[in-house]
Structure 1
Amino acid sequence: MERTLGRLTEQAWERFDDYPSLFFEGRWYHSQELAERARRVAGGLAGLGVRPGDRVVVMMANCPEVGITYQALWRAGAAITPVVFLVSHDELRHILVDSGARLVVTTSEVLLTVQLAADGLDVPIVVAGDAPEGTIPYADLERADELPLVDRAEDDMAALMYTGGTTGRAKGVMLTHAGLYRASQSSQQAGRVPGLTRALIPLPLSHSFGLLTTLVGMHTDEPNVAVLMRWFDAKEWIRLAAEHRIQRCPLVPAMIHMLLAEPDFGRTPLPDLRYVVSGAAPLAREALEEFERRVPGVQILEGYGMTETCATTAVNRPGDRRIGSVGKPLPGYTVTIRDDEGRALPPGEDGEICIASDSLMLGYWHAEDATAAAMSDGELRSGDIGHLDEDGFLYIVDRKKDLIIRGGFNVFPRDVEDVLAEHPEVTMAGVVGRPDPKSGEEVVAFVSLVPGATVTPAELVEWTRERIGRIKYPREIHVVDSVPVTRVFKTDRKRLREMLKELPSPTS
């Protein structure tokens, strides 16, 4: 069977009769309506000169047109280049130039950023929503004739996704049709529970986790309903989850923390919610336990993946969960823990997580050196530190590049963050290292607190010292209104380091 995303979407459209499959901002969208629109948009894109293999940037706030555009581009044989709508115009300009984008599709909310980024470039702009002069209305694409499915090879590029770029310019990750097909199919099979068909989607569909979630829904064997949020808002999430009797939902840890900080969370009954899949960043055990305490009957299933692995690698399954782990590797993925010399380590020993799979990226776009540094002998070196237990469950310790070396001892920021998160007045913590002439690096934490908190930084220092010992505990703790996160809701350590530089150095 041909494993291309154009074929997958075609099969998904044909599998079920017409039914209301998507709810967005007060309106139901039917499955065949969405399919017909995608076929016409594919024709409209071809009319604008989009050809097989072309890259098309899709930078849109969440809306039905995001999925329609993805499916239309795969139908036309092009590769999608999704961009999270929170990027700056400078970041977007780099992506437009580096990818050689044929055109960009956007929504009116972020049009100004797109216009600034595309200034002086020969990149047409298609706008879903109010389209000013000089841009192309999305509705014009839908007036075209339906385009027949363009055949592509399984190893052709289906998506060129740019990494976050928190340590430099973002790199394009080349993902194939077959790789995304297999990854989403394995994810669907691992998480399948018959009858759980109602999902709430708050993730940016332009993030790899959001894209994977979209593709997983195409493998289902029973009609599924998705409630889509334009962007995440804790109060609105609670309202939609209750109103639509949501049964499952993907979240990232920052969203979970925002929900826990919302007074109504736990007061509004959510009796139908059974599973939350958490990914993209580590989740503190205390947050997991508090979420499950407030929503009886729900289980949080942590998973792990990278853009370079088609957004997944391992996940806890319904009925096969180990709290604290990110689950077992999915079918088609092999995880090996290696030391700095590349030797495989036994269960229980920490080392770099290395991943082998047919769903690995082809490489980084126009970056052979970076590809060679990340991949060798069919394995991807993740840059993450972790270990496997005797039963094959994977545990993430931290990012290798975020490691703090204090007095010759390794300190993983997550260890410190997890302890700080245990404090009842701390909502979120972020930890980085400060260069120090005596110890090499010193551990510094930034924390946000619950409303009305009275705990002092000195008391939090003592709290951590009592729990993780004299090597790891932070010598500095700074209270901030909110711990910064990246546009995909990961702790923004780059911004924390910038904030640290703005603070006076402590006296010795």
Structure 2
Amino acid sequence: MGFASKEDLRRIEEEMAWAERDVPSTMYGLLSGTAERHGARKAVTFQMFSDPKAPDVTLTWSELHDEACRTANLLRELGIGETDVVAFLLPNSMETVLTYLGGTIAGVVNPINPLLEPRQIAAILNETGAKVLVTLKAFPKTDVAQKAAEAVLLAPKVETVLEVDLLRYMTGLKKFIVPLLRPKMGERGDVRVLDFAREVAKRPAQLTFADSAGDRVAALFHTGGTTGMPKVAQHRYEGIIYNAWICRTLLFREDDVQICPLPLFHVFATIVSLGASLGSGAQVVFPTPQGYRGEGVFDNFWKLVERHKVSFMIGVPTAFSALMQRKVDADTSSLKLAFSGSSPLPVELYKRFEAAAGLTLCEGYGLTEATCLVSINPPEGEKKVGSIGLPFPYTDVKIVDFLDGAPRDCETDEVGEICVSNPGVAVAHTYSQAEKNQDLYHDGRYLRTGDLGKLDSDGYLWITGRAKDLIIRGGHNIDPAVIEEALAAHEAVALGAAIGQPDAHAGEVPCAYVEAVAGATPDEAELRAFANARIHERAAHLKHLEVIDEIPKTAVGKPLKNELRKRAIARVYGTALAEAGVAAQVAEVVEDRSRGLVARIARTGDTDEAAVNKALGCYTRPWDWAE
């Protein structure tokens, strides 16, 4: 249990090869083994409301095993075989956990982000060929059911919709009021609609079919969708179980309690957090359907830690930033560690959190395409602030230069693209779309992550940027992380995101958007000067900085940089049109599959294409008429 150095991890590898490890080969085997060892212990807790005194629902490991089997039996009866797909479009709930587990046991589960638009949801359903969709029954203050209905009309392969009714979590007056406020549902085509809880309860608590014989594709997770239509990555049992084994071996004990306010459609919550409990027997607590986004979660977070005697907290940089704006107002002595992932953690935020919470914060690294876990700062060893730690056992990381001719392995501390090989990397078929697997691998077994980074002399991995996020100013590559780190040092900055905005001469110039801490009103000019003074590379100095109410983010807190790019294009193009005296304005900026971001121009008076081209022809991003 635990590790402090690279040598500790290598000793684990030297004990025996991964293929020789006595680990389960299926999800059912993993769950059954944990239930057998820890049957009476608490497994999963879900709390509908953030009030520390609000009721919760908890299943023991034996109960979770039985309910997952009932769910799997239902799905198998609905036509979900080992290669068939059950999708879920759900916020966090106990039913979401059961759908994930039952779906991986019966067939292939496909979690979908409820914040996506219906056409994106339908595109994923069509890509995966889902036969069954588990989603919400219409409920006040959420449009998930309506989105699902619209998506199903565009996804003809969906045969059955299983509805989850959150009314079961209501008590008192709310239980009577909600049915009166329930939104009306529209057309859903010819699909069969069934009640999830009612149908699951009819099925036996032991599997009625034979478990899978061994490794196979068990899950389809779409990528974050920060740029364009999400891609769908395939996860096999081996990668899922590898992640659970890592957490059990190095991080979690059976008597631990983790709090995970992250969405269960994301690998950090399912593969890592829930997987850690599946591997170790630790309890996992999911507070509110929306997790960190839920009403009152940040305000009550430390009290929830005290209530559930949490020992591990799971978060992302934006969540830690928000927590730093609240006092630690409860007994948090049960906490041992905090884990941060999903996006790079600014060094200044790291320092602030550890000082305020008195808690060690370990930053790690993973990605959907690798079934998640890659590296982490050692909980019991040196934590190099700003790094993402040491690669886990059986994980091989290479830093490769692909820019100049043939691929070349980088030297120590030399920046290149991070490439990963481990049991979670399914070579040659990571994506369900075959064409998207092209050029995804290096040397036959390494996944090209698209992240730029380096390995230092102690074996620690550092992310220095994202290949596709590079700001290219007149042929000069600028890492946005340099700008974001500089902004994070300012006490009024909660979050900063740097992008390249269009420029008539350099192609792109650095631009940043800032979300201020609560109550702060930083001056934009002063903040820009503050950042530029800390950016040593002159080419990376900010040409524009704007403080906005909130930086748009994915459901797990990653800045949606394409939304910021749209905002910058609209501003720059709008200014160019006005300065040229063209009677037109930017109506919107949209994303086109083949052309990328496209500005749509609307006439405000008498003008023509030639006039617009003259004003915008020096910029690289295309435009179309809005009409």
TM-score range normalised by the length of the shorter chain: over 0.9
Contact 2:111 2:220 in 1 (8 A): yes
1:226 counterpart letter in structure 2: V
**Residue 225 of structure 2 corresponds to which residue in structure 1?**
165
Match of 2:36 in 1: 14
User: Do the aligned partners of 1:416 and 1:464 also contact (CA within 8 Å) in 2?
Assistant: yes
In the TM superposition, 1:248-327 aligns within 5 A as: 248-261=312-325, 263=326, 265-296=327-358, 298-320=359-381, 321-327=383-389
SS at match of 1:92: helix
Cα gap change, 1:14 to 1:195, in 2 (>3 Å): closer
**CA deviation after TM superposition for structure 1 residue 62, in Å:** 0.7
Q: Does 1:95 align with 2:124?
A: yes
Is structure 2 residue 259 aligned with structure 1 residue 200? yes
Partner of 1:75: 105
Is the CA contact 1:35–1:68 (under 8 Å) kept in the aligned structure 2? Answer: no
Secondary structure, aligned partner of 1:503: helix
Cα offsets for 1:414-447 (capped at 9, x unmatched): 1101111111111111111012233331100111
Q: How far does residue 149 in structure 1 lie from its aligned partner after superposition?
A: 5.5
Distance 1:407 1:372 in 2: 29
Question: Paired residue for 1:239, among 303, 307, 326?
Answer: 303
1:72-471 matches, cutoff 5 A: 72-76=102-106, 78-108=107-137, 109=142, 110-119=144-153, 121-123=156-158, 124-129=160-165, 135-139=193-197, 140-145=199-204, 146-148=206-208, 150-192=210-252, 194=253, 197-212=256-271, 213-220=273-280, 223-229=281-287, 230=289, 231-232=291-292, 233-261=297-325, 263=326, 265-296=327-358, 298-320=359-381, 321-340=383-402, 341-362=406-427, 363-376=429-442, 377-469=444-536, 470-471=538-539
- How far 1:246 sits from its partner (Å)? 1.3
In 2: Cα distance, 1:59 partner to 1:176 partner: 21
Aligned residue for 1:18, secondary structure, equals: coil
CA contact (8 A) 1:87 1:487 kept: no
Q: Is the 8 A contact 1:173 1:361 kept in 2?
A: no
Does the aligned pair in 2 maintain the 1:55–1:81 contact within 8 Å?
yes
Unaligned runs of 5+ in 2: 1-21, 48-54, 168-184, 580-627
1:384–1:400 contact (8 Å) kept in structure 2: yes
Residue identity (%):
28
The residue identity in structure 1 corresponding to 2:306 is A
The 5 A counterparts of 1:482-501 are 482-501=550-569
Deviations along 1:144-191, one digit per CA (max 9) or x if unpaired, are: 234245332443101111112333322211111112111221233232
Structure 1 stretches (4+) deviating beyond 4 angstroms?
Answer: 130-134, 505-508
* Superposition deviation, residue 122 in structure 1: 4.3
Residues of 1 paired with 2:519 and 2:267: CA distance?
37
Match of 2:10 in 1: none
Larger radius of gyration: 2
Counterparts of 1:498 and 1:175, CA distance in 2: 32
CA RMSD, 1 decimal:
2.1
Deviation of 1:328 after TM superposition, in Å, equals: 0.6
Partner of 2:173: none
TM-score calculated relative to the size of structure 2: 0.76
List alignment gaps of at least 5 residues for structure 1.
Answer: none
Per-residue CA deviation, residues 181-217 of structure 1 (Å, 9 max, x unaligned), is 112212332324x576111111111101111211121
Q: CA deviation at 1:389?
A: 0.5
Using the size of structure 1 for normalisation, the TM-score is 0.94
